[in-house]
């Protein structure tokens, strides 16, 4: 699943991705992920952040918020 999500955004931790995608690409990404997730074992969470919230993301340590399109998913 990680390789699939890397196609949409950035790996910020082993199992955490930041993806900034259009609404259409977000739906496509979710469909692809849902085909891969083992629902009895795995959990995938989507956090949609508004533009104001993205600007308020704080990072302690290495890294930066990657910016591309309009929708932010973690």
Instruction: Give the model's confidence band at 68: pLDDT under 50 very low, under 70 low, under 90 confident, else very high.
Output: low
Q: Could you tell me the pTM of the whole model?
A: 0.73
Domains and CATH numbers, the chain: 2-73 (3.30.70)
Residue 32 has pLDDT above 80, yes or no: yes
Residue 18 has pLDDT above 70, yes or no: yes
Q: How far apart are CA 54 and CA 58, in angstroms?
A: 9
| Region 17-22 average pLDDT | 90
């Amino acid at each position: 699943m990680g390789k699939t999500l890397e196609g949409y955004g950035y790996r910020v931790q082993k199992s955490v991705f930041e993806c900034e995608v259009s609404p259409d690409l977000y739906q496509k990404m979710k469909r692809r992920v849902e085909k891969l997730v083992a629902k009895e074992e795995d959990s995938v969470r989507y956090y949609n952040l508004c533009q104001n919230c993205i600007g308020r993301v704080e990072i302690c340590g290495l890294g930066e918020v990657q910016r591309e399109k309009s929708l932010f998913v973690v």
